[in-house]
Amino acid sequence: MATFTGLEIASRALKVNQGVLDVVGHNVANVNTPDYSRQTAEIVSTPPDTAYDSANSNFAAQIGTGVDLASITRIRDEFIEQRLQNSQGDQSKYNALNDALKRVEDTFNELSTDGLGKQITATFNAFQEVARSPEGDAARSLLRSQGETVARTFHDIFNGLNNIDTDLKARGAVVVGQVNDLAKQVADLNGQIHIATIVGGHPNDLEDKRDSLVKQLAGMVGAEADPEHDAQGSPTGYVTVRVNGFTIVQDDKTNPLPSTFTMQAGVPQLTDGSIMIPIKSGEVAGLIQASNKIQGYKADLNTVASTLITQVNTQHAAGYGLDGLTGRNFFSGTDASDIGVDANIEGNLNAIAASTPPPTGGTVAPSNGDNARAIADIGSKLLFGNQTIVAYHSAKMTQLGADAQSADQLATNQEKVVQQLQNMRDSTSGVNLDEELTRMLQYQRSYQAASKMVTTFDSLIQSVIDMVR
């Protein structure tokens, strides 16, 4: 009987060591698999047999029965995993905001010779040239051309900001669609993991895949996952995934996120008109913040354009052209979207009102450029508190630069935080080939020893059989 017990012990040792080698091989095979968590085998002694002494009924000995593979578990630090998810959500937010503000800076192109501030200054300078030579077509033609150029600059910036905003909203809709698709995948995995869990299984690879999806959701909308437990406190295998309190996955069911952008109390929101879902982290939060900032930049641009139109037109309408007519505008439109040179000026250089009103009963003196000079002087007027129109625009560009620099710095700093946390995660959950090789050799030797035990017990059993014969 003892001989066969020894054979059973050896057989169990073979199976356990083979199982551990399989785990080691699985780890090695996944050394480069993203978000893979190293697995380890828990080995335990099997319950012993009790043997009674026939000569002494009060004495019983326990005889070991070998070893068993109790479980295969993932090596994870949940605290680090949670911090890493949150940090990746913040990094995605800052990256999205940073990329958008860089595009806005390129759209304004303020540091070039074609920047809006320089074009506004050039427009007032062109009026000054007309004041010096009001009777000449050259100065008037240059002014008309400069008016067209500054209007085109306003249009290009306004349309560029609109295009960026449209791209941000389109990107946001795409990301939200991806979030809803990933949520369905998480729900499907929830169902599979739940079935495996309630029968005592350890679906480690499925859990890794689900965690990877949740990490992607965190990077997109700042999602967080919490494990579910039954009434006795045992894990059910499900996780509930929420976005700032809004549940997008529960058990194997999903609730889709809406995709319309808005801001409320300075916090990015997604809405369908009936519900408001705050998005404080993830790429979508950065897209919404960038879109909101663009609305502010457009409003500032329109303020500059409408002020320029109103101020120039008011003074221009008070002057007289070489044709003796008055009351005409220099610019058409109301803001940056539709500013242009008035049709009268486009078709007739003499309509430029360079002259102040002539004496009663007199005619316009061709050499009178006083009204053009008055328009040129608007460039030095303090129209915004203690700022000229160009100074006001420059201040707004300085703020844009500060916003862009801040977003860039936040993105850079957050990238370092994520990398540090990723290194911490890898040191715990990542696969170390040297360690796995050591384990492989250890359990290979154990397997060989168990094989030798089988051979030895086989020899003993054969000897017993031969003796019976």
Among 287, 240, 279, 226, smallest CA distance to 257 is for: 279
Q: Say what the pLDDT of residue 56 is.
A: 62
Same domain for 53 and 138, yes or no, is no
The SS3 of residue 233 is: coil
Q: Say what the pLDDT of residue 265 is.
A: 86
The SS3 of residue 258 is: coil
Same domain for 291 and 211, yes or no, is yes
Backbone angles phi, psi at 224, to 5 degrees: -135, 145
Beta carbons of 40 and 26 less than 8 angstroms apart: no
Mean pLDDT of 346-357: 95
Same domain for 309 and 444, yes or no, is no
Asked whether residue 403 is domain-assigned, the answer is yes
Mean pLDDT of 185-189: 97
Alpha helices in 222-325 (DSSP H): 283-318
pLDDT at 2 over 60: no
Other Cβ atoms closer than 10 A to 86: 17
Instruction: Report pLDDT digits (tens) over 64-75.
Output: 888 889 999 999
Q: Say what the pLDDT of residue 13 is.
A: 86
Same domain for 451 and 396, yes or no, is no
pLDDT band for position 22 (cuts 50, 70, 90): very high
Q: Say what the pLDDT of residue 60 is.
A: 61
pLDDT at 55 over 70: no
Residue 62 tokens read as 């326990």
Same domain for 97 and 237, yes or no, is yes
Same domain for 270 and 300, yes or no, is yes
Asked whether residue 427 is domain-assigned, the answer is no
Same domain for 445 and 396, yes or no, is no
Q: Where in the sequence is the domain holding 452, given as residue range(s)?
A: 2-32+43-71+439-468
Same domain for 412 and 453, yes or no, is no
Mean pLDDT of 48-62: 67
Q: Say what the pLDDT of residue 303 is.
A: 97
Instruction: Report pLDDT digits (tens) over 400-416.
Output: 999 999 999 999 999 99
Q: Say what the pLDDT of residue 59 is.
A: 59
Same domain for 367 and 451, yes or no, is no
Q: Say what the pLDDT of residue 58 is.
A: 62
Tally the domains of the chain: 2
Distance CA 307, CA 301 (A): 10
Asked whether residue 428 is domain-assigned, the answer is no
pLDDT band for position 155 (cuts 50, 70, 90): very high
pLDDT at 449 over 60: yes
Q: Which residues contact 154 (CB under 8 A, 6 or more apart)?
A: 116, 301, 305, 336, 339
Torsion of CA 6, 7, 13, 14, to 10 degrees: 160
Q: Say what the pLDDT of residue 53 is.
A: 61
Residue 450 tokens read as 């168990």
Distance CA 194, CA 48 (A): 33
Same domain for 54 and 176, yes or no, is no
Mean pLDDT of 228-235: 91
pLDDT at 462 over 80: no
pLDDT at 1 over 50: no
Same domain for 216 and 259, yes or no, is yes
Same domain for 155 and 240, yes or no, is yes
Asked whether residue 375 is domain-assigned, the answer is yes
Asked whether residue 433 is domain-assigned, the answer is no
Whole-number mean pLDDT of the chain?
92
Q: Say what the pLDDT of residue 3 is.
A: 54
